[in-house]
Amino acid sequence: MRRLALAVLLATPAIAAPVPTGPANVPEFKPAFAGQTRAEAVVSKTATSVTEITGGLNAPWGLAFLPDGRMLVTEKAAGTIRIIGQDGSKSAPIAGTPPVNAKGQMGMMGIAVPGDGKVYWSYSEPREGGNGLAVARGTLVDGPEPKLTGVEVIFRMLPTLESNYHAGGRIVAARDGTLFITLGERSILPGRMQAQKLDSDFGKIVRINRDGSIPRDNPLVGKAGTRPEIWSWGHRNILAATLDAKGRLWEAEHGAKGGDELNLVVKAKDYGWPTITYGEEYSGKPIGDGLTQAPGMEQPVYYWDPVIAPSGMAIYSGRLAPEWRGNVFIGGLGSMALVRLVLKNDRVIGEERLLTDRKQRIRDVVEGPDGALWLLTDATDGKLLRVVPK
Ligand SMILES: [Ca+2]
């Protein structure tokens, strides 16, 4: 009997328990490789202290550090950008920004300060016949009434569509001087179907030079019937993107009911939406043919079902917490958590949900020059939090 028991034990390897969540919406979907979902739950040895730096922000969306340590924070619903000091002091809204469509999920969104003396920000631009994401840049003039001068729009997402959903909006400054901009597919069916169309910006990551011109090594340059700014396609709605220590672009995007994804973004690759996904329609019906894999389409590095609703993302340097070096931190809206992923060889080997006791929707995650994680919470009384590992 003892021998039999041992044999059974050996034949059934212990399955490491994942982070406890609800049941999958689509349990019949199986991962394409081990560890693609529900990785082992891990517990950080690094303790944290969380300080509320300020509150009263109107749906803050994006955060970027100025060279002097102060921050620029966009307020989605107010359509504004403010300067925030490390002491929590808030400037008046910065003057000089173009009009913003601040309905629904739209508003003032991403922001980047890549160190060239200019500020870059994304916003939903009100247009004849609808709206579309735009990216502008300008020079910040400091003072009691701060303003942006020399403002120029360097990118306009096309086509224009009447939808207040899924704009994308993160701006990532690449090491080669270009900018990546993440773009959603606008959610409604006429938009969704364009995620696979290369003559549309919907459901794409685009790459532009800082003056708005097109880098000559973009994959579709010179190809008839395509938009030359496109870098990768088949995305749904990307509200989280960052570079890793090697300068590679990672993103996390929203699925529907199930199917949030972490992807390593490679030039000219098709990330599958809406042809393949690990989620289903909010109605419970399959999306398209209900496929999770297809030839020529990339698999996510990791997926979630149920979803976390990812927004904002940082890959940690290790400065204050060596344990966290190379870990991915993603803000969770619906999951109301700071999601920590442990990576090894570009695969996820551990997952943890931090700050769950706070029950706050986390909109953006940035590692500050001080090695702390700086978070924005999504609320009409949104907060700026400083998370210090210790
Ligand atoms: Ca995908």
Domains along the sequence of the chain with CATH: 17-389 (2.120.10.30)
Distance from Cα 302 to the centre of ligand 1, integer Å: 10
Provide the token pair at 23: 């049941």
Provide the token pair at 49: 């202290």
pLDDT, mean of residues 357-371: 98
CA–CA separation, 315 and 264 (whole Å): 12
Confidence of residue 235 (pLDDT cuts 50, 70, 90): very high
CA–CA separation, 264 and 248 (whole Å): 8
Confidence of residue 303 (pLDDT cuts 50, 70, 90): very high
- 81-85 long-range CB contacts below 8 Å, 24 or more apart? 81/108, 81/111, 81/119, 81/121, 81/148, 82/57, 83/142, 83/146, 84/53, 84/54, 84/384
Largest CA distance in the chain: 82
Confidence of residue 8 (pLDDT cuts 50, 70, 90): very low
Q: What are the tens digits of pLDDT across the range 254-280? A: 999 999 999 999 999 999 999 999 999
- What is the structure's pLDDT at 15? 66
- What is the structure's pLDDT at 382? 98
Catalytic entry in 38, 118, 137, 166:
166
Distance from Cα 220 to the centre of ligand 1, integer Å: 20
- Phi-psi sector, 314: left (phi>0), alpha (psi -120 to 50), beta: beta
Confidence of residue 16 (pLDDT cuts 50, 70, 90): confident
Confidence of residue 39 (pLDDT cuts 50, 70, 90): very high
CA–CA separation, 254 and 194 (whole Å): 17
Q: Which of 356, 364, 368 is nearest to 383 (CA)?
A: 364
Q: What are the tens digits of pLDDT across the range 124-159? A: 999 999 999 999 999 999 999 999 999 999 999 999
Distance from Cα 348 to the centre of ligand 1, integer Å: 16
Distance from Cα 39 to the centre of ligand 1, integer Å: 18
pLDDT, mean of residues 360-381: 98
Distance from Cα 258 to the centre of ligand 1, integer Å: 12
CA–CA separation, 328 and 349 (whole Å): 11
CA–CA separation, 315 and 259 (whole Å): 21
CA–CA separation, 5 and 370 (whole Å): 54
CA–CA separation, 242 and 264 (whole Å): 10
Q: Reply yes or no on whether 166 is catalytic.
A: yes
Distance from Cα 82 to the centre of ligand 1, integer Å: 34
Q: Residue 284 — φ and ψ, nearest 5°?
A: 95, -5
Q: Residue 381 — φ and ψ, nearest 5°?
A: -110, 65
CA–CA separation, 286 and 278 (whole Å): 10
CA–CA separation, 334 and 296 (whole Å): 31
Q: Which spans in 59-100 are helix H?
A: none
- Residue predicted with more confidence, 5 or 325: 325
The order of strands in the sheet holding 48-57 is: 48-57, 382-389, 373-377, 362-367
Residues 355 and 371 sit within 8 Å (Cβ to Cβ):
no
Q: Give DSSP secondary structure letters for 203-240.
A: TEEEEE-TTSPPPTTSTTTT-TTS-TTEEEE---EEEE
CA–CA separation, 191 and 201 (whole Å): 10
- Asked whether the predicted pLDDT for residue 5 surpasses 70, the reply is no
pLDDT, mean of residues 93-114: 98
- Asked whether the predicted pLDDT for residue 366 surpasses 80, the reply is yes
Distance from Cα 4 to the centre of ligand 1, integer Å: 44
- What is the structure's pLDDT at 52? 98
7 CB neighbour count, 10 Å cutoff: 10
- Residue 232, judged by CB atoms within 10 A of its CB (0-12, 13-18, 19+), counts as buried
- What is the structure's pLDDT at 14? 56
- What is the structure's pLDDT at 1? 42
- Asked whether the predicted pLDDT for residue 4 surpasses 70, the reply is no
For residue 258, the cross-strand partners are: 256
CA–CA separation, 234 and 270 (whole Å): 5
- What is the structure's pLDDT at 165? 97
Q: What are the tens digits of pLDDT across the range 152-207? A: 999 999 999 999 999 999 999 999 999 999 999 999 999 999 999 999 999 999 99
The reported pTM is 0.95
